[in-house]
Structure formats: structure tokens, C-alpha cells
Amino acid sequence: MASSRLTGFRHGRPIRRFLAFSRYEALIVFPSPPPAHPNHSRRFLRLAGLGWLSILAIVPLSGCGSLNARGLNAEGVRRFERAQYVDSLEKFQQALRNDPKNADSYYNLGAVHHRLATSQRSESDYRQAEAYYNQCLDRDMDHAECHRGLAVLLAEQGRVDEAFRLIEGWASRRTDLPEPKIELARLFEETGNLAGAKERLVEALAADPNHARARAALGNVQEKLGESQEALANYQRSLWYDRYQPEVAARIASLQASLPAATAATMTAGLDPPTTGNQPRVVSRGTGTLR
């Protein structure tokens, strides 16, 4: 079944180069991190390629309007994939009329206007995208993709301080969730503060030691800091919790080839099994976890 939420074209380009999304625009349907509130619906489109992707559970929607909205959002995603942006906007608007409380519909509308804003240099689309992102967060304060999309939009407009305040506010409000800390780490990394990114990721893992995405993200930062052995250990643990990460597997192979054979073998043998009661997360094939 097609997913019914866009991922905002991967919002992964470093902040200082936010004028285009080029290498982050290939779209693939993936499930998305467990919702903070069980009653919130979670279905959307995830993106392929390198980047930090969270793992979201699919929660069934209830009610006729919600079911209709899900189908319309899914159709809108298909139109979006074919670059039929006007048609996708129409489907997302129809979904919103069917279920005015559906945060994903607002997010999808914001994501399309964001795409149009960056491709056409349209200030009106920027304004509309920001408005829809904010309406999405009004309905789901823990909508991870929307936080990321809005942070990217703010940074593209030179409002980097506002982007940080947005994610920092989310992290302060939801200290129990790893996702806000991971998104804050992305901002730190994209602005060149690798030490700050590493600190936030350590905090994310304190909230959930078995979080595959946080492990891979920490490995990514450690590799950039020259901490190859530590990076390899976190990549391996991430892959242990989520086997379907080809980009992580590729980084493991590369680091194992560059490290002394005895060191790499010792680190692989030292992996512990997942913590009891928190089993490995399994997502659709193709999910990436590195930028």
C-alpha cells in the first residue's frame, strides 16, 4: 500500500547550501519513529539515499473521514512522485477537507509548496509552506518530519537562529524522546559543530540505547571526527538493531577495510544482543541512515 505522507524531499542538505535539494530528491515509500502519542496516525513517504531516517510505526486510522484522507494523501504522494505538483496539491486539499484534523495533510501541503518555493524561487510558496508546517505542528506537536521541514525552510531564508529555537524547544518539551535530539544534532552538524552534534546524539542514546538511527548518526559524526573505531562500533550496533540499512553496511565494509584486521574482528565479536524487551526495529528495505 502506498504511503500517505511526504518526507519533505529529505531536508538533508547542509544549511549553508539550502538553495537546492538535488541529491536528496529521490523518493521511496517507507514506513516512518513510533509516534509519541498512540492516537496519532503515522503514514507517509520516506526518502531514499543517504541521510538520517527515523523509524515510524504505522498506526491504523479510525473513522470514515480519516480513511478517505489516507487514500487521498496516498494518491497525492503518487502525483508528487511524478512531479504533478498541481494535481498533488488538489489531492492533499481534498484529504484536508475529509479530515481537517489530519496533521499529515497539512504537512504534505507544506512540503509541496516548499518544493515549489525552492525550484521556482517563489516567496509566496515559501509563505504558504511555512503556514502549513505551523498548522501541522498545531495538530501534532511531535511531528518529526514537519519539525525538520520547517527548520530547513527557516534556514534557507537565513533564519538559522529560529531553526535552532524550533528544534531546541521541541527537545526541551519532550526530553523523553530521542528524535528531537537527533534532529538537533543534524542542525549542529550542518552548521559545522560536530562536537555539539555528538553530544546531542549521546543524549538521544541515553533516552533509547537501541535506537538504530541515533547509533548510525553517531557513527557518522564520529567518522568525520576521525574516531574510526568508535564509528565502526556504532555502525555495527545500528545494523544489529536494523538489518535493512545498505548505506550503513557500506560504511562498515569501508571502515573494516581501513582498520587493522584484528581490531575490526575484535569489535565485531564484542557486539551484545539487543536489550531484552526492546527488540530490533525492522523497516522496509532501502531505508538509509547516513547523510
pLDDT tens profile 210-250: 999 999 999 999 999 999 999 999 999 999 999 999 999 99
Q: Are residues 33 and 128 in the same domain?
A: yes
pLDDT digits (tens, 9 = 90+) for 7-41: 544 443 333 322 222 222 222 222 333 333 333 33
Q: Are residues 81 and 147 in the same domain?
A: yes
- CATH number of the CATH domain containing 84: 1.25.40.10
Q: Are residues 146 and 246 in the same domain?
A: no
Output the average pLDDT for the chain.
Answer: 76
Could you tell me the pTM of the whole model? 0.70
The answer to whether residue 239 sits within a structural domain is yes
The answer to whether residue 56 sits within a structural domain is yes
Question: Residue 3: which pLDDT band, with cuts at 50, 70 and 90?
Answer: low
Residues 6+ apart with CB under 8 A from 160: 15, 154, 191
The answer to whether residue 82 sits within a structural domain is yes
- Confidence check: pLDDT of 2 > 60: no
Q: Are residues 122 and 43 in the same domain?
A: yes
pLDDT reported for residue 260: 81
Q: Are residues 16 and 146 in the same domain?
A: yes
Q: Are residues 237 and 167 in the same domain?
A: no
Torsion, Cα of 177, 218, 238, 56 (10° steps): 30
Q: Are residues 18 and 68 in the same domain?
A: yes
Count structural domains, the chain: 2
Range of the domain at 14: 8-181
pLDDT reported for residue 65: 62
Question: Residue 140: which pLDDT band, with cuts at 50, 70 and 90?
Answer: very high
Residues 6+ apart with CB under 8 A from 208: 178, 214, 278
Q: Are 137 and 144 in contact (CB under 8 A)?
A: no
Mean pLDDT on 124-130: 97
Give the CA distances from residue 266 to residues 78, 103, 243, 260, 271, in Å, rounded to whole numbers and listed in that order: 46, 47, 20, 10, 9
Q: Are residues 121 and 229 in the same domain?
A: no
- Confidence check: pLDDT of 193 > 80: yes
Mean pLDDT on 109-132: 96
Q: Are residues 142 and 263 in the same domain?
A: no
